[in-house]
């Protein structure tokens, strides 16, 4: 979303702003309060984009441009939100991998030819099912950050609490 925000053709910058973009802009020194109008509405204009592009180091932009949407390791497919279990892995759509919360994907009985490791849908504890592992334990509200460790074909889980 950050890359779409700074691109020429992004029509709705609020999607990114409301999904962590405001915090990102502030971390680069942009005070969004300067861009609130008399009705207390945030005005996203070209000035914010230009300022952000000026403040964004090229090394950061290169890093963001090199990020991948998913990663496959042995029998595991790592992705932000999930997949559509009715279509092959190579045909998964970007929007699904970033945003999905479709019921079929979250069924404990979901079958797939890979084990899908994902986040995006916070749970109190890690969920482990035969074809799906959700490692999102809601660090933004719980303070607990969790991860999956795969070592010598053995799985273990770590968290910060």
| Domain identity same for 59 and 75 | no
| Domain identity same for 82 and 155 | yes
Q: What is the pLDDT of residue 37?
A: 64
Q: What is the pLDDT of residue 161?
A: 76
Task: Check if the beta carbon of residue 126 is closer than 8 Å to that of residue 118.
Answer: no
Q: What is the pLDDT of residue 39?
A: 57
| Domain identity same for 129 and 154 | yes
Alpha-carbon distances of 113 from 85, 92, 155, rounded to whole Å: 9, 14, 18
| Domain identity same for 83 and 152 | yes
Q: What is the pLDDT of residue 44?
A: 67
For 98, counting Cβ atoms within 10 Å of its Cβ (0-12 exposed, 13-18 middle, 19+ buried), the class is middle
Q: Which of 30, 50, 66 represents a domain boundary (last residue)?
A: 66
Which tens digits make up the pLDDT trace of 134-144?
999 999 889 99
Q: Which of 37, 66, 95 represents a domain boundary (last residue)?
A: 66
Could you give the CA distance from residue 161 to residue 144 in angstroms, rounded to a whole number?
A: 6
Task: Check if the beta carbon of residue 118 is closer than 8 Å to that of residue 81.
Answer: yes
| Domain identity same for 58 and 75 | no
* CATH for 142: 3.60.21.10
| Domain identity same for 100 and 44 | no
Q: Which of 14, 41, 66 represents a domain boundary (last residue)?
A: 66
How many structural domains compose the chain?
A: 2
| Domain identity same for 60 and 104 | no
| Domain identity same for 54 and 79 | no
| Domain identity same for 25 and 50 | yes
Low-confidence ranges of the chain (pLDDT < 70): 8-12, 36-45
| pTM (two decimals) | 0.84
Q: What is the pLDDT of residue 115?
A: 98
| Domain identity same for 95 and 138 | yes
| Domain identity same for 101 and 27 | no
| Domain identity same for 74 and 61 | no
Q: Which domain holds residue 31?
A: 2-66
């Amino acid at each position: 979303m950050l890359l779409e925000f700074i691109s020429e053709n992004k029509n709705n910058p609020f999607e990114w702003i409301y999904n962590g973009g405001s915090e990102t802009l502030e971390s680069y020194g942009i005070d969004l309060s300067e861009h609130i109008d008399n009705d207390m509405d945030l005005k996203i204009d070209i000035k914010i984009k230009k300022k952000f592009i000026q403040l964004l180091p090229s090394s950061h932009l290169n890093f963001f441009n090199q990020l991948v949407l998913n990663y496959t390791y042995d029998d595991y497919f790592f992705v932000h939100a999930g997949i559509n279990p009715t279509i092959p892995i190579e045909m998964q759509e970007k929007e699904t991998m970033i945003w999905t919360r479709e019921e079929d994907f979250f069924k404990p009985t979901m079958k797939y030819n890979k084990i899908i490791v994902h986040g995006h849908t916070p749970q109190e504890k890690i969920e482990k099912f035969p074809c799906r592992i959700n490692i999102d334990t809601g660090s933004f509200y719980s303070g607990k950050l969790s991860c999956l460790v795969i070592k010598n074909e053995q799985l273990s889980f770590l968290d910060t609490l």
